[in-house]
A = this chain, B = another copy of it.
Amino acid sequence: MDDKLMLMIPGPTPVPEKALLALAKSPIGHRSGDFTKVMADVTDRLKWLHQTKNEVLLLSASGTGAMEAGIINFLSKGDRVLVGENGKFGERWGEVCDAYGINAERIKAEWGKPLDPEDFRAKLEADTNKEIKAVIITHSETSTGVVNDLETINRHVKAHGALIMVDAVTSLGAMNVPIDAWELDVVASGSQKGYMIPPGLGFVAVGPKAWEAYKTADLPKYYLDLGAAKKAIAKNSTPFTTAVNMVMALQVSLQMMQEEGLEQIFARHARHRNATRAAIKAMGLSLFGPDDCASASITAVAPPESAPAEEIRAIMKKQYDIILAGGQSQLAGKIFRIGHLGFVCDRDILTAVSAIESALQQLGHNSFTPGAGTKAAIEVFSA
């Protein structure tokens, strides 16, 4: 049905009407006093969301741009780093390192499985000369719905002394990423995820140890130079023209997030993960990735050959106007992914679950009683 689309992909996520209306306001000058006030307010709220006193810098770029900035501003050519790789985004950060001549050693796990913190411990402990300058980790791997054990890996990194650089693109604002408590040096994210606004802004939180490394880091940068962004944010500004309308929408969504509260936001995402997984199991489908490392933002499902992922997605779109994500790269056609990240309420989970039940029935996957998935989700919500 025209204009009736419901997004349940891991970004862009649904955007509250209030934020959309802020986006539609006539722009104001990015160097005006009025905008300076917006930036000051947004910066304070970003620090709250990031649980940090560190700078949180705002870039007019996607999450990839933000993460690239987070890597290249604090490293030099030839630096040795460890990159966790168990999905498309872990792979991407290795490619960024390659592009800049950073010596990136991949610590791999199968796609759909979490990284093993022991692999990092072993490499870091063996590095007695302290050659490893940074460890780069994707927290919630968007391509598989697997959460890596950032807390434990970070503990090993701390024991060694390297920088920890975190892709928190689908975890920030959905799962706990306590930057100051864990002393995370660099944390990157993007606006079209937990932030509940459209794509177009990237964020990088940078701690003091990373700024120390910035002083000697020699990789070339200009638009992505976070030192320039740091200098500007001290005056509540940005080095280059920022996406002012996006920032106005961000101000609204951050206000909404503060009203809800961090604990409540994390609990909501965890509840949606639990309800979705319970429902998928009740339909007799296989979850892609184990329960104990399941992302609160996204659930990946590996349906049987008799009910192919792409056919499920097609029915979901055609009959129910619900958009699910497919698999990426090697997982194309093998999984579908349900995004429950950002502006998603309990009702949306029931909606998606019941529509998936219908799609499975239509494809002849009828080893479960229709309603069983919905029942399982309701039970989680009633607990």
Q: A33-69, CB under 8 A of B: which get 1 and which 0? A: 0000000000000000000000000001111110010
Contact indicator A26/B15 (Cβ below 8 Å): yes
How often does this chain occur in the complex, in copies? 2
A244 on the interface (CB 8 Å rule)? yes
Contact indicator B7/A198 (Cβ below 8 Å): no
A290 on the interface (CB 8 Å rule)? no
Known A-B contacts A28-B5, A61-B60, A323-B32; the reply to A23 vs B245 at CB < 8 A is yes
Residue from B11, B26, B68, B246 within 8 A of A222 (CB atoms): B68
A residues near B (Cβ < 8 Å) are 5, 7, 9, 11-12, 14-15, 20-21, 23-30, 32, 60-65, 68, 72, 95-96, 99-101, 190, 192, 198-200, 219-225, 240-246, 323, 325
Contact indicator B25/A20 (Cβ below 8 Å): yes
Contact indicator A199/B242 (Cβ below 8 Å): yes
Q: Tell me, rounded to whole Å, the shortest Cβ–Cβ distance linking A279 to chain B.
A: 22
20 CB-based A-B contacts, threshold 8 Å? A9-B29, A11-B241, A12-B30, A12-B241, A12-B244, A27-B198, A28-B323, A29-B325, A60-B61, A60-B200, A64-B222, A64-B240, A99-B220, A99-B222, A100-B220, A190-B241, A199-B241, A200-B200, A200-B245, A224-B224
Q: In the complex, what residues of B have CB within 8 A of residue A5's CB?
A: 26, 28
* Bound complex: CA A242 to CA B60 (Å): 11
Q: In the complex, what residues of B have CB within 8 A of residue A240's CB?
A: 62-65
Q: In the complex, what residues of B have CB within 8 A of residue A32's CB?
A: 323
* Bound complex: CA A62 to CA B192 (Å): 18
Contact indicator A27/B244 (Cβ below 8 Å): no
Q: Tell me, rounded to whole Å, the shortest Cβ–Cβ distance linking A31 to chain B.
A: 8
Q: Tell me, rounded to whole Å, the shortest Cβ–Cβ distance linking A106 to chain B.
A: 17
Residue from B20, B223, B242 within 8 A of A68 (CB atoms): B223
Contact indicator B241/A63 (Cβ below 8 Å): yes
Q: In the complex, what residues of B have CB within 8 A of residue A11's CB?
A: 241
* Bound complex: CA A199 to CA B58 (Å): 14
Q: In the complex, what residues of B have CB within 8 A of residue A24's CB?
A: 20-21, 23-24
Known A-B contacts A61-B61, A198-B245; the reply to A7 vs B27 at CB < 8 A is yes
* Bound complex: CA A68 to CA B223 (Å): 7
* Bound complex: CA A200 to CA B62 (Å): 10
Q: Tell me, rounded to whole Å, the shortest Cβ–Cβ distance linking A337 to chain B.
A: 12
Q: In the complex, what residues of B have CB within 8 A of residue A100's CB?
A: 220, 222
* Bound complex: CA A221 to CA B72 (Å): 10
